[in-house]
Structure 1
Amino acid sequence: MTDFATSTAPADVVRRQYLASAAGDLEALHATLAPDVEWTEMAGFPLAGTYRTPGGVTSHVMEELVKEWNDWAAHDDTYVVDGENVVVLARYTAVNKATGKPLAVRVAHHFVVRGGLIVRFEQFVDTALVREAMSA
């Protein structure tokens, strides 16, 4: 039996990424990402774009989310695994700092995991609901 903490199974790697993100543990998060990771936040999302390198992902996404939102969380509900592809059906919850409005929106995340590291990520989310929570 493989230990979850060291497993290279795609779903285990992705789960460790969610746990590290939730804990704010950037070192553990970086450990799940390939050096040349491509991380894409959906067009229309406030942080839209493709970011490369673990440092680029955390500085342009994770660190920015905490500036705009209180209690930002990605709740990973359902995993669908096909080889190196992991699709996670999830939810974002948070409260926007500027407006005080809550956010609760369903999302889908597509990860590609090779050699025990996330090499690609793509986010799918109803960006209108995110922007609504950000609008006064």
Structure 2
Amino acid sequence: MPAQPLAPETADAPVAVVRRQYLASATGDLDLWRTTVAADVEWIEAAGSPLAGTYRTPDGVISGVFEQLAAAWDDWITHDDTYVVDGERVVVLGRYSAVNKATRKTMSVRVAHCFIVRDGKIVRFEQIVDPAGVHTAMTA
């Protein structure tokens, strides 16, 4: 049986929404980022990481995560290397790189991000990261 062509990606397809979220984060376009998440988004930062916890609402994520990262790190980049898609679930394997403002130490750590996208919006995000590399960069 010949392979079936893939359906074209729509703007509200889960993988397109997640990619747009990364683009918005990378460029600091919070208005665009807000269009990718649900009003009641649940955003989970990994246990053991400096920002560990669950944040809700776009404003909660911006103030609890994005603003804190900007205050503590220079040149923060999330490298979204590999996407694995299963329906509404999108898992992104990648890494973070940054320079800690207090110590001037660099960081490069592997991460996995698990998204659930419904009706064109991210409703849940969960970060999986080994926080040791983050903590090493943060300690003098």
TM-score normalized by the length of structure 1: 0.95
Instruction: Report whether the alignment pairs 1:43 with 2:47.
Output: yes
Report the residue type matching 1:93 in the other structure.
Answer: S
- Give the number of aligned pairs: 134
SS of corresponding position for 2:12: coil
Paired position in structure 2 for 1:60: 64
How far, CA to CA, are the matches of 1:70 and 1:18 in structure 2?
17
Unaligned runs of 5+ residues in structure 2 are 1-6
Query: 1:64-103 alignment to 2 at 5 Å?
Result: 64-103=68-107
Identity %: 65
Paired position in structure 2 for 1:28: 32
How far, CA to CA, are the matches of 1:2 and 1:79 in structure 2?
16
How far, CA to CA, are the matches of 1:79 and 1:114 in structure 2?
17
How far, CA to CA, are the matches of 2:62 and 2:35 in structure 1?
12
Unaligned runs of 5+ residues in structure 1 are none
Paired position in structure 1 for 2:19: 15
Instruction: Report whether the alignment pairs 1:107 with 2:111.
Output: yes
Structure whose CA Rg is larger: 2
SS of corresponding position for 1:8: coil
Moved beyond 3 Å, runs of 4+:
1-4
TM-score normalized by the length of structure 2: 0.93
SS of corresponding position for 1:110: strand
How far, CA to CA, are the matches of 2:127 and 2:134 in structure 1?
13
